[in-house]
Amino acid sequence: MIEKGTTKMKTKRQKTRHRVARVTQGSGNVFADLGLPNPEQELLKAQLTLQIYTILKDSRMTQVEIAKILGVHQPQVSLLMRNRAGNFSVGRLMEFLTALRRDVEITVRPTRKDHGALSVISA
């Protein structure tokens, strides 16, 4: 019986109870997992951009002030703040880090794997 002033609502059973989700372990590089070209370079750029973003956010400077330090226009700083480093090369991102008073160190060493790896380590 439905009381006056109320409505009866239909509820749907969640069909997800009986579905089995398939999970595939990633390689550690989302760019490679997605089949994008140059996945190691893209991952390196993303890691460098994250370092730059953290520095910029902690600096509390305006984007215009940051642009002057980096030698770019403010819209390019905005792109960096939104993790859009696609237009910047790895070299240019490293130049940004040095302009932000950070040392960038590149270490080359032998590996035991079939193929070497790129990584960014923050100190």
Alpha-carbon separation of residue 40 from 25, 58, 101, 116 (angstroms): 18, 27, 26, 10
pLDDT in tens, 47-86: 999 999 999 999 989 999 999 999 999 999 998 888 887 7
Q: How many helices (H) and strands (E) does the chain have?
A: 5, 0
Give the per-residue pLDDT at 6.
46
Listing DSSP states for 25-45 in one string gives ---S-HHHHTT-SSHHHHHHH
Q: Can you give the pLDDT at residue 16?
A: 59
Residues 10-58 pLDDT 10s: 544 455 567 788 888 888 888 888 988 988 888 899 999 999 999 999 9
Q: Which of 14-18, 86-90, 104-108 has the lowest mean pLDDT?
A: 14-18
The CATH class that applies to domain 37-99 reads mainly alpha
> pTM of the full predicted structure?
0.72
